[in-house]
Amino acid sequence: MRLTGRTALVTGASRGMGRAIARRLADDGALVAVHYATNADLADEVVTLIEKDGGRAFAVQADLGTPDGVDVLFDGLAEGLTERTGSTELDILVNNAGVMGGTPAGETTPEQFDRLMAVNAKAPFFIIQRAMAHLADGARIVNISSGLTRVANPDEIAYAMSKGAVEQLALHFAKVLAPRGITINTVAPGITRNGNPVFDIPEAVEQMARLSAFNRVGEPEDVADVVAFLASADARWMTGAFVDATGGTLLG
Ligand code: NAP
């Protein structure tokens, strides 16, 4: 229970890796704000699962692809934290929410491009900007990128651009935040099982598994455990880092 007494916000925590990260941080003792965009039922399910395991959590809604998304997020976060702790202090911020592209460059529309940038890159920047006033000294920020900033994929060029942008946050914010003992790092997952139907097709999973040195696809918990380390006191000497959580996919 190394995070007892800590508060955490995990964006995109209704499903996939965000769900596993929220559950892991709650297991470690943190009070977790489970953010979602549209799937309220799934976010409520995460809160229920955490509470069943003896943890504390609440759900917060915000569409981070809209201009007022970050304001809506922080209104809900402040309300939820104040109700439970009497303060809006935040110890852990995980910028995990993201949208994939899946469209070849030639077919990507300006609207699709803007959406990818808005949710994957712009929102994390403004979330950090807004969080600065709430972050406790010694707080932790983890931004989720992708192995696709290091491996070519012609169907995900715009997506990879958005993740390349999000990686800059750790590098440049690290010096701004270090005087307060706040660390900020990037975690780059490889192919990781989420609710996508492709993970129900054995042949597709076999093919994706071959990309990892361990010959399997990642499980959300594989990434959640890495994030939990970076969110802990043990990671106090790491900041501005790019952490490969691709199961060896980037080894080539
Ligand atoms: P996922 O299962 O696709 O879930 C996406 C999460 O983001 C959901 O909680 C969703 O909320 C939220 N979200 C989607 N659009 C949003 C919006 N406009 N505003 C706010 N929240 C929004 O996610 P995942 O596959 O675990 O991926 C998590 C992160 O890892 C993402 O940043 C992704 O790019 C990155 N990543 C994934 C993989 C992979 O193979 N899965 C690999 C590398 C990197 P709702 O449920 O309410 O829609």
As a whole-number percent, the residues of the chain with pLDDT over 70 amount to 100
Instruction: Report strand pairing: 135-144 vs 31-36.
Output: unpaired
Mean pLDDT within 20-38:
98
Instruction: Report strand pairing: 183-189 vs 242-245.
Output: parallel
C-beta of 144 in contact with ligand 1 (< 6 A) = yes
C-beta of 159 in contact with ligand 1 (< 6 A) = no
pLDDT band at 134 (very low <50, low <70, confident <90, very high): very high
pLDDT band at 61 (very low <50, low <70, confident <90, very high): very high
CA of residue 91 relative to chain centroid, distance: 15
pLDDT value at 220 more than 90? yes
Cα distances (angstroms) measured from residue 234 to each of 219, 229, 238: 23, 7, 9
67-113 pLDDT tens trace = 999 999 999 999 999 999 999 999 999 999 999 988 999 999 999 99
Strands (E), the chain: 7-10, 31-36, 56-61, 90-95, 135-144, 183-189, 242-245
Domain residue spans of the chain = 7-247
Q: In whole numbers, what is the pLDDT of the chain averaged over residues?
A: 97
The rounded radius of gyration (Å) of the Cα atoms in the chain is 17
**How far apart (Å, rounded) are the C-alpha atoms in residues 138 and 115?**
33
Residue nearest to atom 36 of ligand 1 (CA): 146
Q: Is 36 a catalytic residue?
A: no
pLDDT band at 133 (very low <50, low <70, confident <90, very high): very high
CATH 3.40.50.2300 fits 7-247, yes or no: no
According to DSSP, the residues that pair with 183 across neighbouring strands are: 140
Does residue 17 contact residue 96 with C-beta atoms inside 8 Å? Answer: yes
Mean pLDDT within 19-41:
98
Residue nearest to atom 43 of ligand 1 (CA): 146
With tokens 């940038």, the residue in question is 117
With tokens 């999973």, the residue in question is 205
Residue 115: CB partners within 8 Å, gap ≥ 6? Answer: 65, 99
Indicate the DSSP class of residue 192.
B
As a whole-number percent, the residues of the chain with pLDDT over 90 amount to 98
pLDDT band at 1 (very low <50, low <70, confident <90, very high): confident
| Catalytic one of 159, 163, 212, 220 | 159
Does residue 46 contact residue 57 with C-beta atoms inside 8 Å? Answer: yes
140-190 pLDDT tens trace = 999 999 999 999 999 999 999 999 999 999 999 999 999 999 999 999 999
Residue 242: CB partners within 8 Å, gap ≥ 6? Answer: 145, 167, 170, 185, 186, 188
